[in-house]
């Protein structure tokens, strides 16, 4: 038992001695390298650089680039943009694809070949139209455009109101048709008219003669010959031929034809180089607009300032709105616009709506009476005075034009 412990202690002592010897040897070898021949350190890598062509002054879009526009700059290879140029001759004579600023590294995608066609720049408004959609403008008024509340980015519904009439299918004219009598060629008696030839019967006023017309003659017609209908009087039991007392009354129908349509813009879009006076201001005062009064400083500016103040104009309200719709919806709006339909906008909420498309019913006079329980007024022995034959909207103060300021 004691011998085993002795052997264990001797083994541990031997391991400690070997570790100490190894430590001393490593320190001696390190001192030798310091005191003897110095150990060579790894060389610091030198970064590789390259000269690239840059612009020394700005170049406008489409302008040719010459040597006066160019300079070189040395930069690390890893920072060089792809498709850069190293020589002036690779760039001189070519044109700028975009407006380029001084210090711009020139690459292949920034310049054009001399014979290459400059691509159209296009408008920024087209970037707001998603693929598959188009922009279409329709006329608006204060009433039809929710008092000019919609702005770019809003969503609206388009409500259309039409006047429908009955037409003759062949003539494509309003019903009822007009009637007329015809006289065929041959031996006939017809009413004496200026220029008619033949023997006149004084008792009847008819001319007896022979017509030589190759076609039938219309001897009637006019407003007095409207096509009516025969009705039997319920009291007398006698037939009467009834004619319309007025022309056909159109029938009104309204329906929402487009829903959840995005507004691209309201009014005329701004153009590059266009001033405010081009289509944005008016020389007359609009209804509801306050005339601009000159300030005290302007009044003291002399005659020239007074004339300029007198010619100041007020901003016109927008008269068009541009919507982002599908190509088919654009054709629909175009037809409605030129068919004389009234288009009215309804502004949607800005909050997300799960029911973007809501089924709607077309509104007619019958729909109003049935849905909202509107009765047909009874014929009473009394009425209101004065007589009312048509509805008139109340006159709004803001619709009264203000006097135009004079010089």
Least confident residue range of 10-24, 60-74, 178-192, 293-307: 293-307
The four Cα atoms 164, 165, 168, 172 give a dihedral, to 10 degrees, of -60
Note the pLDDT of residue 34.
Answer: 46
Percent of the chain with pLDDT over 70: 71
Task: Give the chain's end-to-end CA distance (angstroms, integer).
Answer: 131
Distances (CA, A) of 229 to 140, 226, 247: 44, 10, 15
Note the pLDDT of residue 294.
Answer: 47
pLDDT band, very low/low/confident/very high, at 187 (cuts 50, 70, 90): low
Look up the pTM and report it: 0.61
* Statement: residue 290 has pLDDT above 50: no
Q: What is the pLDDT of residues 69-128, one digit of tens each?
A: 888 888 888 888 888 888 888 888 888 888 888 888 888 888 888 778 877 777 888 889
What residues contact 190, with CB distance under 8 A and at least 6 apart? 183, 196, 206, 207, 211, 219
Q: Tokens standing for 236?
A: 């007398």
Provide the b/e sequence for 371-404 (b: ≥16 CB within 10 Å): eeeeeeeeeeeeeeeeeeeeeeeeeeeeeeeeee
DSSP string, 117-128: PPPP---SGGGG
Note the pLDDT of residue 281.
Answer: 43
Taking all residues of the chain, what is their mean pLDDT, rounded to a whole number?
78
Note the pLDDT of residue 226.
Answer: 83
Note the pLDDT of residue 209.
Answer: 57
Distances (CA, A) of 149 to 153, 164, 212, 318, 401: 12, 31, 71, 11, 22
For residue 383, give the H/E element and its range: none
Contact criterion met (CB below 8 Å) for 263 and 321: yes
Which domains are delineated in the chain? 49-112 (3.90.1210.10), 281-312+376-407 (no CATH)
Contact criterion met (CB below 8 Å) for 314 and 286: yes
Whether a cis peptide bond, with omega within 30° of 0, leads into 386 is yes
Q: Which residues pair with 253 in a beta bridge?
A: 162
Q: How far apart are CA 139 and CA 334, in angstroms?
A: 11
Note the pLDDT of residue 106.
Answer: 87
Note the pLDDT of residue 273.
Answer: 57
Contact criterion met (CB below 8 Å) for 71 and 92: no
Q: What is the pLDDT of residues 298-357, one digit of tens each?
A: 444 444 444 444 445 567 899 999 999 999 999 999 999 999 999 999 999 998 877 778
């Amino acid at each position: 038992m004691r011998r085993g412990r002795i052997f264990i202690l001797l083994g541990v002592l031997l391991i400690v001695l070997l570790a100490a010897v190894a430590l001393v040897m490593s320190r001696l070898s390190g001192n030798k390298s310091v005191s003897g021949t110095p150990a060579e350190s790894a060389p610091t890598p030198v970064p590789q650089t390259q000269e690239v062509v840059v612009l020394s002054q700005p170049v406008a879009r489409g302008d040719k680039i010459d040597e006066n526009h160019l300079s070189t700059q040395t930069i690390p290879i890893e920072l060089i943009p792809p498709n850069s140029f190293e020589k002036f001759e690779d760039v001189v004579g070519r044109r700028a694809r975009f407006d380029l600023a001084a210090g711009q590294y020139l690459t292949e995608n920034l310049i054009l070949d001399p014979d290459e066609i400059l691509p159209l720049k296009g408008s920024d408004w087209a970037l707001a139209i998603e693929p598959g959609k188009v922009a279409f403008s329709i006329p608006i008024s204060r009433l039809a455009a929710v008092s000019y509340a919609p702005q770019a980015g809003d969503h609206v519904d388009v409500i259309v109101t039409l006047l429908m009439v009955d037409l003759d299918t062949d003539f494509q004219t309003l019903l009822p048709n007009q009637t007329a009598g015809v006289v065929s060629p041959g031996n006939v008696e017809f009413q004496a008219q200026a220029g008619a030839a033949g023997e006149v019967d004084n008792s009847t006023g008819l001319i007896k003669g022979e017509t030589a017309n190759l076609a039938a003659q219309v001897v009637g017609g006019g407003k007095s010959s409207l096509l009516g209908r025969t009705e039997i009087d319920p009291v007398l039991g006698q037939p009467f031929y009834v004619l319309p007392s007025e022309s056909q009354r159109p029938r009104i129908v309204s329906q929402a034809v487009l829903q959840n349509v995005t507004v691209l813009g309201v009014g005329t879009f701004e153009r590059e180089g266009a001033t405010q006076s081009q289509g944005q201001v008016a020389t007359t005062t609009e209804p509801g607009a306050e005339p601009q009064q000159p300030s005290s400083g302007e009044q003291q500016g002399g005659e020239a300032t007074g004339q300029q103040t007198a010619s100041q104009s007020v901003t016109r309200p927008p008269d068009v709105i541009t919507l982002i719709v599908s190509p088919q919806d654009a054709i629909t709006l175009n037809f409605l616009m030129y068919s004389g339909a009234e288009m009215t906008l309804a502004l949607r909420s800005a909050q997300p709506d799960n029911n973007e498309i809501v089924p709607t019913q077309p509104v007619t006079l019958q729909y109003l009476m049935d849905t909202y329980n509107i009765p047909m007024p009874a014929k009473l022995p009394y009425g209101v005075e004065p007589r009312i034959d048509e509805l008139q909207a109340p006159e709004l103060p803001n619709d009264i034009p203000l006097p135009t300021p004079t010089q």
